[in-house]
């Protein structure tokens, strides 16, 4: 059943819907609540079903904000916003965009992590599609049941590697929903063109399997062979129904994340945010810091602590970007040291996965180290850039940070792990331990603090500054693939935004107030490269005009009953 269709009329978009009465009020894409005009109320069978006052979106936002402020707990605010999202989508986006800085941590990190953990208890209304392994023979039916039919962007998860909190089973759905909120609120991708998808292949989280409230398939995760076949079936079905769709993979465990990306990246328009989005935003932060230090990428020694999806993704993006900038592959390879649970990674380690092996040190270097732990490696390597992507709280201890500051002039320290409770170090500890010499950016937002007589605001090195603009650029020009060059252009655009707009000596990332500007600049850059590389069709319209024209803002479209 098609619930609505958007028609481009001379006066702008108009919604045609075959629905009347109560059903209209239950579909968040259609429901305007008190903002339905008298004319609409008459023709849509809504007369008498709403209080008589016809309100504007502005008036509705004021009331919604008062209601939001009634909640004091972040989790309750998150639930309130989720309910609003599932009741009236335009009002939700109007509100979130107006109070973006205040609401971003509520709808996205850090509170979304708690909402995923609480998913089974807090569940109220449904959103998106749940594709359960048990329904593997009904995939067409499932995808044709989506309320949005003109889908251009899917964010999909299997809930196996959520933020820093691991296997969350079906509760992982909170993350694609949150990512799509940012795609729309920051990236201006129309919510009528998006779809969150949860692939439910079971869970290996024992707490969930015995939780009586668990809402997912109560079954251990299926084996790798069945898993790959299921993903293939899903992608076949998706591409048949939405041939031009952009597929964003989210929070897949490192067991599958890079294999899936490698398998599909030259077949469909696709992107893994944990791997590529994190790489894009991290390179941008590094570039911004290097500008302040008047140094180049080639002079750096990168130490990455936590060689999972994000850690290896960052290394990959740095590596490919440096090659494109003309560096020699052998020399670039020499700039990386990766540490995982077993310590520094060496090529002769049989348990390395492919992504780790690319950056493992040659085995002949083994004897050069007494031990392979973080402290020893820092002492030996003297890294200029230290990245935390391990989800190990406090791994960058005061002692380690002090030692690093003594070895390297103005080190760049990026504890990227989320949520806050998993960060490798707090910005305050880093500033104190390095005597204010370090450049810092964190994955999650941290409160500002006093350092000496200065107030320090730490920037967020979060893929939220990358993926919304990448999605906008891709959708605007209908790109067929995402190339390394497009991602490099995204990093450069973010870094340039920081350079042009931020004059604080501490900040090396954008700030939330710049999120829309950054998204648009990233979109222009990504779309431009896609066209240059023949991955999207050029038109007479400039890329900037095209991106600006498709950028979606929340406003009510007229609704016409059309049986
Ligand atoms: P992942 O599970 O794929 O990777 C984590 C890696 O850390 C694994 O390889 C694991 O073995 C390793 N590790 C665990 N304990 C360790 C220890 N004691 N010493 C060394 N290594 C250890 O997860 P991921 O998707 O790569 O995410 C990792 C963290 O990065 C999470 O907290 C996530 O929230 C964060 N992250 C942040 C951003 C951002 O934009 N800031 C983006 C993606 C991921």
Task: Note whether 423 and 443 are within 8 A (CB).
Answer: yes
133 is catalytic: no
Which one of the listed residues 32, 179, 319, 524 is annotated catalytic? Answer: 179
User: Could you give the 3-state DSSP secondary structure of residue 450?
Assistant: strand
The length of the chain in residues reads: 563
Q: For residue 456, give every residue at least 6 positions away whose Cβ sits within 8 Å of its Cβ, in sequence order, or none.
A: 427, 428, 431, 448, 449, 450, 506
Ligand 1 atom nearest the C-alpha of 254 is 3
| From 389, 421, 515, mutation site for ligand 1 pocket: most ligand atoms within 8 A of C-beta | 389
Supply the pLDDT for residue 211: 97
CATH of 276-462, one of 3.30.530.20, 3.40.718.10, 3.40.50.720, 3.40.190.10: 3.40.50.720
Ligand 1 atom nearest the C-alpha of 461 is 41
CA distances in angstroms from 474 to 81, 274, 417, 525, listed in the order given? 28, 18, 27, 10
Supply the pLDDT for residue 164: 72
Ligand 1 atom nearest the C-alpha of 443 is 41
Q: What is the pLDDT of residues 228-276, one digit of tens each?
A: 999 999 999 999 999 999 999 999 988 889 899 999 999 999 999 999 9
Are domains 56-253 and 276-462 of this chain identical in fold? yes
Write a three-state SS string for 394-447: CCCCHHHHHHHHHHCCCCEEEECCCCHHHCCCCHHHHHHHCCCCCEEEECCCCC
Eight-state DSSP code of residue 162: B
Q: What is the pLDDT of residues 81-113, one digit of tens each?
A: 999 999 999 999 999 999 999 999 999 988 999
422 alpha carbon to ligand 1 midpoint, in Å? 9
Supply the pLDDT for residue 32: 98
Pocket of ligand 1 (CB under 6 A): 161, 163-164, 254, 274, 278, 281, 305-311, 339-341, 389-392, 416-418, 422, 443, 461-463
282 alpha carbon to ligand 1 midpoint, in Å? 14
Ligand 1 atom nearest the C-alpha of 251 is 25
Short-list 204, 267, 189, CA closest to 232: 267
307 alpha carbon to ligand 1 midpoint, in Å? 7
Question: Low-confidence residues of the chain, pLDDT below 70?
Answer: none
Q: How do the domains of the chain map onto residue ranges?
A: 56-253, 276-462, 465-473+482-539
| CA-proximal residue: ligand 1, atom 41 (nearest) | 443
Residues 519, 13: Cα–Cα separation, whole Å = 24
Residues 100, 11: Cα–Cα separation, whole Å = 29
Residues 248, 562: Cα–Cα separation, whole Å = 34
Angle, CA of 54, 56 and 57, to the nearest 5°: 135
Which one of the listed residues 4, 108, 319, 556 is annotated catalytic? Answer: 108
62 is catalytic: no
Write a three-state SS string for 316-377: HHHHHHHHHCCCCHHHHHCCEEEEECCEECECCCCCCCHHHHCCCECHHHHHHCCCCCHHHH
274 alpha carbon to ligand 1 midpoint, in Å? 10
Short-list 29, 249, 254, CA closest to 157: 249
CA distances in angstroms from 403 to 192, 248, 369, 374, listed in the order given? 52, 40, 17, 11
* Residues paired with residue 337 on neighbouring β-strands, in sequence order: 303
**Total-model pTM:** 0.95
| From 390, 393, 467, 494, mutation site for ligand 1 pocket: most ligand atoms within 8 A of C-beta | 390
Residues 133, 138: Cα–Cα separation, whole Å = 10
262-278 in b/e burial notation, b at 16+ Cβ within 10 A?
ebbbeebbbbbbbbbbb
Ligand 1 atom nearest the C-alpha of 310 is 26
CA distances in angstroms from 10 to 13, 36, 261, listed in the order given? 8, 21, 42
Short-list 551, 486, 518, 504, CA closest to 270: 486
| CA-proximal residue: ligand 1, atom 17 (nearest) | 341
Superfamily of domain 56-253: Malic enzyme, N-terminal domain (3.40.50.10380)
């Amino acid at each position: 059943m098609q619930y609505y269709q958007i028609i481009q009329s001379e006066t702008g978009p108009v919604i045609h819907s075959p629905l009347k009465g109560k059903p209209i009020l239950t579909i968040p894409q259609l429901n305007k609540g008190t903002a339905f005009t008298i004319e609409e109320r008459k023709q849509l069978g809504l007369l008498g079903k709403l209080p008589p006052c016809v309100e504007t979106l502005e008036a509705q936002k004021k009331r919604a904000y008062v209601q939001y402020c009634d909640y004091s707990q972040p989790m309750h605010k998150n639930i309130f916003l989720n309910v609003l999202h599932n009741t009236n989508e335009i009002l939700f986006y109007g509100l979130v965009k107006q109070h973006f800085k205040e609401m971003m941590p509520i709808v996205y990190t850090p509170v979304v992590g708690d909402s995923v953990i609480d998913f089974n208890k807090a569940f109220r209304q449904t959103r998106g599609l749940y594709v359960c392994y048990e329904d593997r023979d009904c995939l067409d039916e499932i995808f044709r049941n989506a309320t949005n039919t003109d889908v251009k962007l899917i964010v999909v998860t299997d809930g196996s590697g959520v933020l820093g909190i691991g296997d969350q089973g079906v509760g992982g759905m909170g993350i694609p929903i949150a990512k799509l909120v940012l795609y729309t609120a920051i990236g201006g991708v129309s919510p009528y063109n998006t779809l969150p998808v949860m692939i439910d292949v079971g869970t290996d989280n024992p707490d969930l399997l015995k939780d009586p409230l668990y809402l997912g398939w109560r079954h251990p995760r299926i084996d790798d062979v069945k898993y790959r076949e299921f993903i293939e079936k899903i992608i076949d079905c998706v591409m048949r129904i939405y041939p031009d769709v952009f597929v964003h993979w989210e929070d897949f465990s490192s067991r599958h994340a890079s294999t899936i990306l490698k398998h599909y990246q030259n077949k469909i328009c696709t992107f893994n945010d944990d791997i590529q989005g994190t790489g894009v935003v991290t390179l941008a932060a590094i570039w911004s810091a290097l500008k302040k230090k008047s140094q180049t990428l080639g002079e750096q020694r990168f130490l990455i602590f936590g060689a999972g999806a994000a850690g290896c993704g960052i290394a990959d993006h740095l590596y490919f970007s440096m090659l494109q900038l003309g560096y020699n592959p052998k020399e670039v390879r020499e700039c990386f040291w990766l540490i995982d649970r077993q310590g520094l990674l060496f090529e002769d380690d049989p348990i390395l996965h492919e992504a780790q092996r690319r950056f493992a040190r040659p085995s002949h270097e083994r004897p050069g180290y007494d031990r392979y732990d973080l402290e020893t490696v820092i002492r030996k390597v003297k890294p200029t850039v230290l990245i935390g992507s391990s989800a190990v709280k406090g791994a960058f201890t005061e002692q380690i940070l002090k030692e690093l500051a003594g070895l390297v002039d103005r080190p760049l320290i990026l504890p990227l792990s989320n949520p806050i409770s998993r960060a490798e170090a707090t910005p305050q500890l880093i500033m104190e331990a390095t005597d204010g010499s370090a450049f810092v950016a964190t994955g999650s937002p941290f409160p500002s603090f006093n350092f000496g007589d200065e107030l320090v605001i730490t920037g967020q090195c979060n893929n939220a500054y990358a993926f919304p603009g990448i999605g906008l650029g891709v959708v605007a020009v209908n790109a067929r693939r995402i190339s390394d060059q497009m991602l490099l252009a995204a990093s450069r655009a973010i870094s340039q935004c920081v350079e042009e707009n931020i004059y604080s000596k501490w900040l090396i990332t954008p700030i939330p107030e710049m999120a829309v500007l950054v998204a648009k600049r990233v979109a222009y850059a990504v779309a431009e490269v896609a066209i240059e590389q023949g991955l999207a069709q050029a038109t007479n319209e400039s890329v900037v005009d095209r991106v600006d024209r498709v950028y979606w803002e929340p406003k009510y479209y007229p609704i016409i009953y059309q049986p």
